[in-house]
Amino acid sequence: MARVGVFVCFCGANIADYVDVPQVVEEVKRIKEVKFATEYKYMCSDPGQGMIRDAIIQYKLTSIVVAACSPRMHEKTFRKALSDAGMNPYLLEVANIREHSSWVHQKDKKAATNKAMDLCRMAVAKSIANEQLHEISVPVTKRALVIGGGIAGIQAALDIADARIPVVLVERSPSIGGKMAQLDETFPTLDCAQCILTPKMVDVASHPYIELIPYSEVIELQGFVGNYKVKIKKKASYVNFKTCTGCGACWQKCPVKVANEYNMGIDKRKAIYTPFPQAVPNKPVIDAEHCTMLLKGKCGICAKVCDKGSIDYTMQDEIIEREIGAVVVATGYDMWDPTPYEEYGVGRFKDIITSLEFERMVSANGPTNGVPVRPSDGKVPKNVVFIKCVGSRDEAKGIEYCSKICCMYTTKHTILLHHKVHDSHAYVFYMDIRAAGKGYEEFVKKAQVDTGTTYLRGRVSKIYKKGDKLMVRGEDAQIGQVVEVEADLVVLATAVSAPKDNPNLARLLGISYDKYGYLSEAHPKLRPVETAKAGIFLAGCTQAPKDIPETVSQASACAAKVCGLFAGDTMKKDPMVSSINNEYCSGCQNCLNACPYGAIVTEDVAIGHGSKDLRTVAKINEGVCQGCGSCVAICRSTAITLAGFTDSQIINEIVSI
Amino acid sequence: MNYTKEIQDIAAKLFAEGKIDVFVGYRVNGFDDNQVPVLITDPQDVSKLVFTDKSVFNLVNYLKNDHTRRKRVGLVVKGCDSRSLNLMLTESQVKRENLYVVGICCEGVVDEAGQKMQNCTDCMVPDAVVSDELLGTPSGSDTLSGSYKMNADIAMLAEKPLTERAAYFEEVFENCIRCNACRHSCPLCYCAKCCIDQETATLYNGANTTSGAFHALMTWSLHLAGRCVDCRNCEKACPSHLPLHLLHKQNESVIYENFQEHLAGVVTGDRGAFYKYSLKDPDDFIM
């Protein structure tokens, strides 16, 4: 006969305000298997856990029900309390009367109480059929995968590798560096981005514990925390990196000119190219979409001029497989496309540019050698209007959120403009100035004084052309009047948006993403680095817009998480895994297809005692199984059982209400 | 449609070449001109084989039999039969290399009264989709012939409100005697032990009552949803003459409509709508 103990938590006022806890206790006491039931203000606290430990011994309890918050929150805490009292920890059931009852039924205390009683009855019924289970140990592959070679990926890779853990760093483009490599100077100290970034890029390339795989993409991830298998597609570069010295003869002679992505299309690059002179690895690749040799079979100049014979037009994409234990996702961000702002004349007027285009122009290694010019006639602009929140904080045309970095980089742009064109004047249309960060407010204040920039609080309603100037019409809300500013150049501080490929990547990795396409963290406050899938971590703007200091902090946090994960040789794993009844298994292999973790294989078993005739049945790899139950649901012959969620446990739950 | 001679020749040749251990075909039952399945193991019996429009049964069902398991089998399949064979292959129940399949480009079979069967008038896949040798003239189209036809009786049922539909089936299931002939006659009911029969089964009501029949047949129809090929072996086997196709055709029409015009067993390796995930799957039922 089962002897169940029930412990109902007030959770301070979280549960008690909306659920009549004493009534719940009285109700569960009427169940004949319940030998002890009580309530407490904070069941998770030390006195609360003490009550559980004492009752287990005093009342000889055989299973425990804790009615409190979500098991995601405190299941582990209470399991430990059971262990401490000498009881198998998996004899615990948690009834979630907080998230599932008090929080969602705050307007109706009676209904919330009734639901809490139902949830407790179900948990008691299920716990009666609970069985003793034991933790599983699985080995760990101590190698980390970092996806994305921007500053986030670089920092995470370096920190993990410095702990002598091998890292595989996968970057989609031919060079690491990411968006930061495109920046000129960085707020609030105006360090040159190249000067602080490129040494780190070199460190990545030369680090003995980092394997850098550029020009590649992750195409498949299988397995589970500690034991992932990743497939990486290495795109054909058509250049043998082993023999190439990076001399540059090929791209100097290449006759094909293509818009240069690194310079935001302001100038041209060749079809065989390195993205920028400081690229790592500093080896060229051939852009197969534009190379005439690859498209039409004519040209071949680069192969002729290459002394080393490094050009190989027959090179194919290659699939690389690696075994890894953890993943850091650092895919960065995209700049939001301002096309929806038709009233600004985006696309019609050449002298409206985005902030990253401006950044490239004022950059010392940029296409105009650090001098901003008007794209229409190449003249140096005198009056420059900066418009903030283009796309950000705009529910109608853009995105609801604040992109966080635009206030600061626009301030930086006014300074850079002032440095490069001394007799220029900047106007900034803004909604608010958000300068929360160490040294940020001081930076903004100083810039305003030093540059003499005119700040106009209000949205721009229209931009139109007058002669060769642009007329920017907007509201100055502080004087309550419409103002018009004559501009030589207009710079749009476009929003930060999630990488377009993030949803695909999220599906490939089996993690979740939000409505904007940013990857979701496990908990916004207490687990901001982890995803809901164990062993996958997030760094940088792929989770939400961030500036460089925050990105670097999060990347280092990821590294700490990875090092913690790899601290032991094996990992403990919950025993809620599936098992197959060979007698009932018909070998249809539907479960193999249903399993999202690749945890099921087939094996041949003898039909009867001593029989040499074999039958094919399914077999579960306990280490890989995550206990999701998909196989149980899909099995027609009910040959699969999930420990901790057996048919009899579930049926008990259903018939109890 | 008469391929008696061709099939006798093929079977004789296969036995002579030692390619098969058993040939599954049809023979005349001996009382009237209706036919029953026959398993030929002796080459001298080949002359018993016939094939006409009275060859109604789905012989794929005999591949789950111990007389054919792990043996080399020759067998005759019509369009619908071949689709169930396709599913058996996909679900790893038979090995293709152990089979010699005589496919028929079927012109439709008739019931005992000589009327063309309803599933034949609605048939979209008359030609065998799996075969080593094809008899007859293919209907021409590579894929499906004709458009999906909603049975009149399904349309009638679909229009009824839920309570009336439940009442209708309750009346139908009252006549079920739980003999499980439907299950035994279905080529895709090959489980080692049916979930309904398991001693430890807590989910299923195995009683010989109307509710037990309801439970069993509904479970059965769901386990065949997206897999049933509408061969109607179950209806032919049912001693109570229950209109079992209603359960399956209803599922089939819903799946055809919602899962990119999916028809069971047309493509080898396709496990059916419920056993694969596609981004195109409807998800409007998720809040």
ipTM of the complex: 0.88
Question: CA-CA distances (angstroms) from residue A431 to A54, A474, A486, A491, B16?
Answer: 60, 12, 20, 16, 91
Same domain for B47 and B126, yes or no, is: yes
Same domain for B158 and B119, yes or no, is: no
Same domain for B72 and B163, yes or no, is: no
A 566-595: CB under 8 A from B? 583-590, 593-594
CB B248 within 8 A of CB B266: no
What mean pLDDT do residues A625-644 have? Answer: 92
B202–A651: do the CB atoms touch at under 8 Å? yes
Same domain for B108 and B31, yes or no, is: yes
| Cα–Cα distance for residue pair B186/A274, rounded to 1 Å | 64
Q: Is A278 on the interface with B (CB under 8 A)?
A: no
Question: Residues of CATH 3.50.50.60 domain(s) within chain A?
Answer: 144-235+317-333+498-565, 334-497
pLDDT at position A607 is 72
pLDDT at position A609 is 72
| Cα–Cα distance for residue pair B194/B190, rounded to 1 Å | 8
For A121-139, give the secondary structure using H, E and C. Answer: HHHHHHHHCCCCCCCEEEE
Which residues on chain A are in Cβ contact (under 8 Å) with B276? 593
Interface of chain B against chain A, CB under 8 Å? 70, 91-93, 190-195, 198, 200-203, 223, 271, 274-276
| Cα–Cα distance for residue pair A615/A518, rounded to 1 Å | 47
A589–B91: do the CB atoms touch at under 8 Å? yes
Helices and strands in chain A: count of H runs, count of E runs: 17, 34
B203–A585: do the CB atoms touch at under 8 Å? no
For chain B, give the secondary structure using H, E and C. Answer: CCCHHHHHHHHHHHHHCCCCCEEEEEEECCCCCCEEEEEECCHHHHHHCECCCCCCCCHHHHHHCCCCCCCCEEEEECHHHHHHHHHHHHCCCCCHHHEEEEEEECCCCECCCCCECHHHHCCCCCECCCCCEEECCCCCCCCCCCCCCCCHHHHHHHHCCHHHHHHHHHHHHCCCCCCCHHHHHCCCCCCCCCHHHCCCCCCCCCCCCHHHHHHHHHHHHHHCCCCCCCCCHHHHHCCCCCCCHHHHHHHHHHHHHHCCCCCCCCCCCCCCHHHCCCCCCCCCCCC
Phi, psi (deg, nearest 5) at residue A384: -120, 130
In CATH, what number does A4-135 get? 3.40.50
Q: Three-state SS for A106?
A: coil
Comparing CA positions, the residue from B181, B49, B187, B33 lying closest to residue B111 is: B33
Mean predicted lDDT score pLDDT of chain A: 94
What mean pLDDT do residues B280-284 have? Answer: 79
What mean pLDDT do residues A427-445 have? Answer: 95
pLDDT at position B269 is 87
Q: Which amino acid is at A627?
A: G
Same domain for B13 and B117, yes or no, is: yes
Q: Is A637 on the interface with B (CB under 8 A)?
A: yes
pLDDT at position B281 is 79
Same domain for B112 and B158, yes or no, is: no
B275–A583: do the CB atoms touch at under 8 Å? no
Sheet with A216-224, strands from edge to edge, namely: A216-224, A227-234, A318-324
B197 located within any domain: yes
Which residues on chain A are in Cβ contact (under 8 Å) with B93? 586-588
pLDDT in tens, A277-291: 999 999 999 999 999
Determine the residue among B94, B275, B281, B283 to mutate to test chain A binding: the one whose Cβ has the most chain A Cβ atoms within 10 Å: B275
B93–A613: do the CB atoms touch at under 8 Å? no
Strand partners, A146: A169, A328
B284 located within any domain: no
State the sign of the Cα–Cα–Cα–Cα dihedral A589, A590, A591, A597.
Answer: positive
Which residues on chain A are in Cβ contact (under 8 Å) with B200? 647
Which residues on chain A are in Cβ contact (under 8 Å) with B92? 587-589, 616
B123 located within any domain: yes
B202–A634: do the CB atoms touch at under 8 Å? no
Q: Which amino acid is at B204?
A: Y
Q: Which two tokens stand for residue A528?
A: 């901001």
pLDDT band of B250, cuts 50, 70, 90:
confident
Instruction: Search chain A and give the residue with CA nearest B219.
Output: A636
pLDDT at position B12 is 95
DSSP H or E stretch at residue A497: strand A496-497
pLDDT in tens, A128-185: 999 999 999 888 999 999 999 999 999 999 999 999 999 999 999 999 999 999 999 9
pLDDT in tens, A297-313: 999 999 999 999 999 99
Q: Is the pLDDT of residue B163 over 70?
A: yes
| Cα–Cα distance for residue pair B176/A203, rounded to 1 Å | 77
Same domain for B44 and B75, yes or no, is: yes
Sheet with A469-476, strands from edge to edge, namely: A460-466, A469-476, A481-487
pLDDT in tens, A357-413: 999 999 988 999 999 999 999 999 999 999 999 999 999 999 999 999 999 999 999
B271–A593: do the CB atoms touch at under 8 Å? yes
Instruction: Search chain A and give the residue with CA nearest B224.
Output: A636
CB A250 within 8 A of CB A305: yes
Same domain for B121 and B237, yes or no, is: no
Same domain for B179 and B121, yes or no, is: no
B280 located within any domain: no
Considering the domain delimited by A144-235+317-333+498-565, tell me its CATH architecture: 3-Layer(bba) Sandwich (3.50)
B24 located within any domain: yes
Neighbours of A465 (CB within 10 A): 13
Burial of A580 (0-12, 13-18, 19+ CB in 10 A): buried
Q: Is the pLDDT of residue B256 over 80?
A: yes
Same domain for B126 and B210, yes or no, is: no
What mean pLDDT do residues A636-646 have? Answer: 93
CB nearest A637 (choices: B92, B93, B193): B193
Which residues on chain B are in Cβ contact (under 8 Å) with A584? 191-193, 198
Q: Three-state SS for A91?
A: helix
B198–A584: do the CB atoms touch at under 8 Å? yes
Same domain for B169 and B130, yes or no, is: no
What mean pLDDT do residues B50-61 have? Answer: 94
Mean predicted lDDT score pLDDT of chain B: 88
Q: Tell the residue number behind the tokens 């903004």, with chain if given.
A: A444
Question: Residues of CATH 3.40.50 domain(s) within chain A?
Answer: 4-135
pLDDT in tens, A547-567: 999 999 999 999 999 999 999
pLDDT at position B202 is 66
Q: Three-state SS for A369?
A: coil
B200 located within any domain: yes
Residue B43 CA to its chain's centroid (Å): 28
Which residues on chain B are in Cβ contact (under 8 Å) with A583? 192-193
pLDDT at position B201 is 63
Q: Which residue has the higher pLDDT, B284 or B252?
A: B252
CB A417 within 8 A of CB A371: no
Instruction: Search chain B and give the residue with CA nearest A607.
Output: B192
Which residues on chain A are in Cβ contact (under 8 Å) with B223? 636
Q: How far is B275 from chain A (nearest CA, A)?
A: 7
Determine the residue among A126, A590, A645 to mutate to test chain B binding: the one whose Cβ has the most chain B Cβ atoms within 10 Å: A590
A648–B202: do the CB atoms touch at under 8 Å? yes
Least confident segment among A209-213, A429-433, B213-217: B213-217
pLDDT in tens, A565-583: 999 888 888 899 999 999 8
| Cα–Cα distance for residue pair A272/A285, rounded to 1 Å | 6
Q: Is the pLDDT of residue B285 over 80?
A: no
Q: Tell the residue number behind the tokens 């080995």, with chain if given.
A: A139
CB nearest B92 (choices: A594, A616, A648): A616
Same domain for B188 and B250, yes or no, is: yes
Determine the residue among B84, B191, B204 to mutate to test chain A binding: the one whose Cβ has the most chain A Cβ atoms within 10 Å: B191
- Over pLDDT 70: what percentage of chain A? 100
What mean pLDDT do residues A56-71 have? Answer: 96
Q: Tell the residue number behind the tokens 């002598």, with chain if given.
A: A164
A150: left (phi over 0), alpha (psi -120 to 50) or beta: beta
Determine the residue among A588, A634, A653, A656 to mutate to test chain B binding: the one whose Cβ has the most chain B Cβ atoms within 10 Å: A588
Residue B116 CA to its chain's centroid (Å): 17
Q: Three-state SS for A173?
A: coil
Which residues on chain A are in Cβ contact (under 8 Å) with B193? 583-584, 637
B192–A585: do the CB atoms touch at under 8 Å? yes
CB nearest B92 (choices: A583, A584, A587): A587
Determine the residue among A638, A649, A655 to mutate to test chain B binding: the one whose Cβ has the most chain B Cβ atoms within 10 Å: A638
Boundaries of domain holding B239:
152-275
Neighbours of A361 (CB within 10 A): 26
CB nearest A586 (choices: B191, B203, B271): B191
pLDDT at position B141 is 55
pLDDT at position B283 is 79
- Number of CB pairs, chain A paired with chain B, less than 8 A apart: 50
pLDDT at position B113 is 86
What mean pLDDT do residues B22-46 have? Answer: 92
Q: Is A512 on the interface with B (CB under 8 A)?
A: no
Q: Is the pLDDT of residue B277 over 80?
A: no
Q: Three-state SS for A529?
A: coil
Comparing CA positions, the residue from A58, A63, A59, A54 lying closest to residue A87 is: A63
In CATH, what number does A574-655 get? 3.30.70.20
Q: Is the pLDDT of residue A491 over 60?
A: yes
B202–A647: do the CB atoms touch at under 8 Å? yes
B213 located within any domain: yes
Q: Is the pLDDT of residue B200 over 80?
A: no
CB A146 within 8 A of CB A55: no
CB A596 within 8 A of CB A628: yes
CB A149 within 8 A of CB A250: no
Superfamily of domain A334-497: FAD/NAD(P)-binding domain (3.50.50.60)
| Cα–Cα distance for residue pair A618/A626, rounded to 1 Å | 16
A 610-629: CB under 8 A from B? 613, 616
Q: Is the pLDDT of residue B226 over 70?
A: yes
Q: How far is A585 from chain B (nearest CA, A)?
A: 7
pLDDT band of A262, cuts 50, 70, 90:
very high
pLDDT band of B91, cuts 50, 70, 90:
very high
pLDDT in tens, B111-157: 888 899 988 888 888 899 999 999 998 876 545 555 677 777 788 88
Q: Tell the residue number behind the tokens 């039958």, with chain if given.
A: A615
Q: How far is A645 from chain B (nearest CA, A)?
A: 13
Instruction: Search chain A and give the residue with CA nearest B223.
Output: A636
